[in-house]
Amino acid sequence: MTQRIAAQELFDLHQQRLGLRWVAGQSGAMRVLESVETVARRPSLAGYLNIIYPNKVQILGTEELQWLDGLDSRARWEVIERIMQARPLALVISKEQRVPEDLREAAEESETPLWLSPRRGHELLNHLQYHLARTLAPRVTLHGVFMEIYSIGVLITGESGSGKSELALELVTRGHRLVADDAPEFTQIAPDVLDGTCPELLQDLLEVRGLGVLNVRQMFGDTAVKKNKYLRLIVHLTKPHLEPQAAGMERITGDLSVRRLLDLDVPQITLPVMPGRNLAVLTEAAARGHILRAKGVDPAAAFMARHSHFLERSS
């Protein structure tokens, strides 16, 4: 799904925080920036005035306006024309400086939003770059239950009827926290970070067969839910009739694999669902094991090294 944001939406979201005023180009309020436009070009989403590789939100600080004032009339007109032809999402002038009249007229004619802010240029840059990067970042919606277990984000997946929601409910009663049920959304906000959130419609809700929809926040309190969490581990539940005979090494190392989500490989462990198995304890153990492996501690590797040493000593 292509992510997008309109100039009006960006203005409304940050008008109060950045003190924005719309001074020209109001007719360009519906100008849209799509995520596909951010991968085919060199520049960042927001940055100081750049007419070689123009940014999508051009920030004009004191130095940029002074540079424009130092140009002769013809060169100045050509530069402003190139700025408008690049069709930026918006131009933002920092520190409430005087808006040049020719820049205002060009913004009106080209329907380019021109905003004024009392904030300094670096404040505008940091804030807008962060927001635009998150808004336009690649994202995917998965079927499963996303939880925080021992401070790490764990996605519980499996076929319908495998017991994902029942397992999530038991984990909540054991003190862990629910992030999203059924359709968590994951956004790649950094090369190695997937941030999981819950759609607004499903916030705080958990659907359990036989019980219907439960409001976890109302039943267990505010500490039982969490707004977002980084995804670190996937626990995949499989039904017994789908579970193949475990291989020898699998008995030692566990059924470990990776699952590709967007541009990131996420560790995945598969747990067979069988009568008598305490899946909540097994999921907690899987989370603890992942934390140990992240620290460089691998019990399976240590056991195999110990076994090799024992055989060498025996021979």
143 labelled catalytic: yes
Is 163 known as a binding-site position? Answer: yes
Query: 92 and 57 in contact (C-beta within 8 Å)?
Result: yes
Catalytic hit among 134, 174, 251, 306: 251
Is 185 known as a binding-site position? Answer: no
Catalytic hit among 131, 164, 177, 232: 164
Is 162 known as a binding-site position? Answer: yes
Cα-Cα-Cα-Cα dihedral of 221, 223, 228, 230, to 10°? -140
Is 295 known as a binding-site position? Answer: no
Separation between Cα atoms, residue 54 and residue 46, nearest integer Å: 9
Is 161 known as a binding-site position? Answer: yes
Catalytic hit among 181, 182, 195, 204: 182
Query: 100 and 68 in contact (C-beta within 8 Å)?
Result: yes
Is 117 known as a binding-site position? Answer: no
Catalytic hit among 143, 227, 306, 307: 143
82 labelled catalytic: no
Q: Which residues belong to the active site?
A: 143, 164, 182, 251
Q: Which residues are annotated as a binding site for Mg(2+)?
A: 165, 207
Q: Which residues are annotated as a binding site for ATP?
A: 158-165
Q: Which residues are annotated as a binding site?
A: 158-165, 207
